Amino acid sequence: MSDYRNRLGVLAIVLFATLPGIVAVAHADTTLTIGTVNNADMVRMQALSSEYEKAHPDVHLNWVVLEENTLRQRLTTDIATHGGQFDVITIGAYEAPLWGAQQWLKPLDNLPADYAADDIFKNVREQLTVDGHLYALPFYAEASITYFRTDLFAKANLTMPAAPTWDQIRGFARKLHDPAHGVYGICLRGKAGWGENMALLGTIVNSWGGRWFDEGWKPQIDTPEWHQAVNFYVDLLSKYGPPGPSDNGFNENLALFSAGRCAMWVDASVGGGTVSNPKESSVAGKVGFVRSPHQVTDRGSSWLWVWSLAIPASSRQADAARDFILWATSKPYLRMVAGKYGEESTPPGTRESTYANEAYIKAAPFAQVTYDSLKAVDPAHPTLKPVPYKGIQIVSIPEFQAVATLVGRQIAGALAGRGNVDELLHTAQGAVDRTMKRAGYYDKKPVIQKEPPQ
């Protein structure tokens, strides 16, 4: 058993002990069990999959659609134990390279010419590739951007910069916060989780010049940069956010913003399709889109995340799973979504051809800032100071999901009024330090980060 499997296996056992059991599925040769997240684009994929089944009458799709934190727990448990519960899984830029390197995923090589793999953004492909092998295909990719209500800004005679600072965002939130009329100055992720509140907080810490670890893998959580960034975040959201922000993740804030309850929202660019669709959003046509806020630096101020589809090595129906993944991430699938739900609902951020489509650009006012943000991000150089890891809002080590979830819970507690930020960060520093020491990171040679070409 590899060292990686030992480390992740311990996490999986803990997770498995706290989860309701996964109902066993009868595995016919043509039954594919698909585990995916309950985001809008994946819900649309499930709805449109009837078209796939019509074209493949011998294939039945069994869907397991879960909330983000729950999905990650179940997939981690299944992949670490070779459980074989799933044939297709929805994973991201964190899991794909780690699990691919361990050969826990089927490689997706020799893609057909009409799939047009070269049409996929280069930096998106790179997040899913290990040693020249693709281990997942991108369903959509996202940067983090700033959403704002143009009508509220105009009424208050405010102008949103193309690249705002967090201090400017705070000033706008203070002026636009109007809870008496059901409008909050800003909505941000507060729900605990390495892929929930810590995704956003990772970029905020980066913006203040912070980092998760130094070159010798020593945690940097109890540092001035982290204290400044997290205190800013907690104060901002406590004063100008909605009630109970520690309960809100991406989907909850998307619903709040679409209902007209938020003057601003900083989150994944993929939400642009929903907030711009008048069938799904009461503020469609009243939303502006600019770059994610920065502060001391803009390096690492916007994340790069890729929700992708992969095949566990334990799947007994890899050929059928591969065929489905090719269908769900293809250019014809993107056009099917546009035809059914509108151009603005096309899964974004994966293909150059999407952004060469004039109909999409015209229908999707968020398209340009998404494109520019995705092109600008550099996961290999995510922070102002040098680091030994890749990843902007993630750290490319197996311990990260446990470490970041622990820290996320501490910060969610502070947001809910349970503890002092400075004390909680000091406590988190000690816990992460012990984790890294047990895992042997301090015995590794320090990494000197090369600066990107200017």
The answer to the question of residue 299 being in a domain is yes
| Residue 344 and residue 360 in one domain | yes
Same domain, 263 and 406: yes
Q: Do 162 and 239 share a domain, yes or no?
A: yes
Please identify, among 333, 351, 376, the residue that sits at the C-terminal boundary of a domain: 376
In angstroms, rounded to a whole number, what is the distance separating the alpha carbons of residues 172 and 166?
10
| 59 lies in the same domain as 181 | no
pLDDT of 27 reads 36
Alpha-carbon separation of residue 188 from 52, 238, 412 (angstroms): 36, 11, 12
Res. 453: pLDDT tops 50: no
Cβ atoms 443, 249 nearer than 8 A: no
The type of residue at 397 is I
**Predicted confidence (pLDDT) at residue 93 exceeds the cutoff of 60:** yes
- Region 369-396: mean pLDDT is 95
242 and 318, same domain (yes or no): no
Cβ of 377: how many Cβ atoms within 10 Å?
21
Q: Which residue(s) pair with 381 in the sheet?
A: none
Domain endpoint, select from 354, 376, 398: 376
**Residue 355 parent element (H or E):** helix 352-355
Residue 448 lies in a domain: no
Overall domain count for the chain: 2
Which pLDDT does position 16 carry in this prediction? 37
In a domain, 451, yes or no: no
d(CA 106, CA 135): 6
- Is 449 among the domain residues? no
Confidence band for 337, pLDDT divided at 50, 70 and 90: very high
Q: Are residues 282 and 317 in the same domain?
A: no
- 3-state SS track over 380-443: CCCCCCCCCCCCCCCCCCCCHHHHHHHHHHHHHHHHCCCCCHHHHHHHHHHHHHHHHHHCCHHH
| pLDDT-derived band at 201, boundaries 50, 70, 90 | very high
Q: What are phi and psi of 13, to 5 degrees?
A: -65, -40
Q: Are 313 and 294 part of one and the same domain?
A: no
Q: Residue 15: which pLDDT band, with cuts at 50, 70 and 90?
A: very low
> Counting every residue, how long is the chain?
454
Last residue of a domain, one of 341, 358, 376: 376
Contact 268, 189 (CB under 8 A): no
Q: Are residues 54 and 197 in the same domain?
A: no
Whether residue 105 sits in one domain with residue 31: yes
Statement to judge: residues 265 and 365 lie in one domain: no
Task: Tell me the residue type at 1.
Answer: M
Kindly list the distances between the CA atom of residue 348 and the CA atoms of 99, 128, 149, 306, in Å, as whole numbers in the listed order.
24, 17, 22, 10
Is residue 444's pLDDT more than 80? no
Query: In this structure, are residues 190 and 248 in contact, taking their beta carbons and an 8 Å threshold?
Result: yes
Residue 1 neighbours by CB distance under 10 Å: 6
344/103 Cα distance (integer angstroms): 36
Q: Per residue in 392-425, pLDDT tens?
A: 999 999 999 999 999 999 999 999 999 999 999 9
Is there a domain that residue 325 lies in? yes
Domain span at 232: 143-303+379-443
Cα-based distances in Å from 138 to 169, 330, 374, 401: 32, 9, 14, 21
Residue 19's pLDDT band (cuts 50, 70, 90):
very low
Q: How many CB atoms lie within 10 A of CB 47?
A: 12
387 in the same domain as 313: no
Q: Is residue 450 in a domain?
A: no
pLDDT score at 452: 55
| pTM score over 0.85 | yes
pLDDT digits (tens, 9 = 90+) for 57-83: 999 999 999 999 899 999 999 998 999
**For residue 149, what is the domain's CATH number?**
3.40.190.10
Is 453 contained in some domain? no
Is 191 in the same domain as 64? no
